[in-house]
């Protein structure tokens, strides 16, 4: 590849050391916004998604309307592309100029990420809840625990432990998707890279932004792999298929 005729031009356009050094500090400062969005969204998603998963798993005809609402929520926000949800909320809601409603594009872009990823994470939680053997619930109920107490003390703790690795994979995707916030206007790493690219007619700032994302996502990826391997070893040791 480096011996190809076009390599010098590509190297100059994407791997310019001078442009990388000049753009890195500002892009790194803008990347702080990506990290903040990720941290806030992750905390809310963990709670909201668990609530949706529990509502969807409630048994009996009396809870049918609640299950329908939970199903519609997951189907809608898993079915619509994330960039469209961000555009609709971050550009549309502030444009309504509603009294008492936040007008910050960062707030609504973060809300869009929360809604989309809560739909995905809710399904991960639901898989974990359904993986708990029914005998666990029967044993808890036989001891006098209510349905809510059984969920809180028996089912949910086991389910959460089982789904930690796939949850980490979802949050790796969330961290990368914080770059989509740039389409709503906030100056985060991707938009700051675009500003430098437009000023210098050079694509190296995008490589700089990619390096910052890799610096955060690779440790998360390795952590997810380690948790998956540990869970596999535990299951093998206990004889669980």
pLDDT (mean) for 188-197: 92
105, containing H or E segment: helix 105-131
> How many folded domains does the chain comprise?
1
pLDDT (mean) for 39-58: 92
Residue 132 lies in a domain: yes
More confident residue, 95 or 28: 28
Can you give the residue range of the structural domain that contains 148?
7-238
Condensed to tens digits (0 to 9), the pLDDT of residues 139-163 reads 888 888 887 788 888 888 888 888 8
Residue 19 lies in a domain: yes
pLDDT (mean) for 81-87: 93
Residue 136 lies in a domain: yes
Query: For position 239, what pLDDT does the model report?
Result: 59
Residue 1 lies in a domain: no
Sort 241 into a burial class: Cβ within 10 Å, 0-12 / 13-18 / 19+: exposed
Q: Which residues contact 57 (CB under 8 A, 6 or more apart)?
A: 126, 129, 130
Model pTM?
0.87
Which letter does DSSP use for residue 180 in this model? G
Can you give the CATH number for the domain in which 15 is found?
A: 1.10.3720.10
Query: For position 34, what pLDDT does the model report?
Result: 94
């Amino acid at each position: 590849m480096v011996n190809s005729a076009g390599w010098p031009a590509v190297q100059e356009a994407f791997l310019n050391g001078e442009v990388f050094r000049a753009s890195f500090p500002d892009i790194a400062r803008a990347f702080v916004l990506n990290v903040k969005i990720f941290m806030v969204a992750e905390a809310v998603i963990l709670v909201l998604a668990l609530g949706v998963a529990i509502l969807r798993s409630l048994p009996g005809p009396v809870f049918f309307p609640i299950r329908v609402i939970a199903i519609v929520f997951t189907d809608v926000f898993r079915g619509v592309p994330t960039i469209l949800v961000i555009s609709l909320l971050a550009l549309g809601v502030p444009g309504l100029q509603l009294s008492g409603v936040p007008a910050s594009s960062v707030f609504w872009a973060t809300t869009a990420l929360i809604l989309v990823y809560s739909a995905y994470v809710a399904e991960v939680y639901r898989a974990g809840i359904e993986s708990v053997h029914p005998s666990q619930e029967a044993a808890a109920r036989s001891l006098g625990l209510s349905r809510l107490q059984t969920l809180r003390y028996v089912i949910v703790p086991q389910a959460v432990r089982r789904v930690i690795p796939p949850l980490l994979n979802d949050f790796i995707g969330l961290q990368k998707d914080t770059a989509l916030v740039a389409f709503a206007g906030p100056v985060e790493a991707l938009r700051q890279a675009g500003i430098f690219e437009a000023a210098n007619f050079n694509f190296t700032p995008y490589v700089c932004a990619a390096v910052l994302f890799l610096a955060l996502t690779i440790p998360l990826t390795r952590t997810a792999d380690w948790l998956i391997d540990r869970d596999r070893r535990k299951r093998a040791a206990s004889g669980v298929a």
